[in-house]
Amino acid sequence: MLITFTVAAMLAQAPAPAPTPAEKPNPRIAVPDFQTSAGNESLAAMLAGSVATEIDRTGLFQVTTSDQVRALLSLERQRQLLGCSDDSCSSDIASQLGVDYMMNGRLGRLVDSKKATTAVSLDLVMLEVKGGKRVSSRELKAASEAELVAKLEEGVAGLIAPLLAGRQGFLAVIASEDGSIVKIDGTQLATTPMTQRLAIAGGPHVLRIEKEGFTAVQKQIRIAPDQMADEAIRLLPSPDYVEAYERKQWALRIGAFSAAGLAVVGGVVFGVMQGQAQFNYRDANPSFLKLRDRLATDESARASAEALRNTINTQLAVSYVAGGVGIAAAVTSVVLLFVGEDPNRYQSYRGPRSAIWLAPGSGGTSFAFDF
Average pLDDT over residues 152-166: 80
Pair 107, 121: CB distance under 8 Å? yes
Residue 305 has pLDDT above 80, yes or no: yes
Give CA–CA dist 109/36, Å, rounded.
Answer: 9
Q: What is the pTM of this model?
A: 0.55
The CATH number that domain 167-237 falls under is 2.60.40.10
pLDDT in tens, 199-227: 888 878 889 999 999 999 999 888 887 88
Average pLDDT over residues 157-169: 79
pLDDT value at position 41?
A: 83
Q: Does domain 25-164 have CATH number 3.40.50.10070?
A: yes
pLDDT in tens, 96-117: 567 788 888 899 887 766 655 6
When pLDDT is cut at 50, 70 and 90, the band that residue 72 belongs to is low
pLDDT in tens, 231-287: 999 999 998 999 899 999 999 999 999 999 999 999 999 999 999 989 988 888 888
pLDDT value at position 318?
A: 94
Residue 122 has pLDDT above 60, yes or no: yes
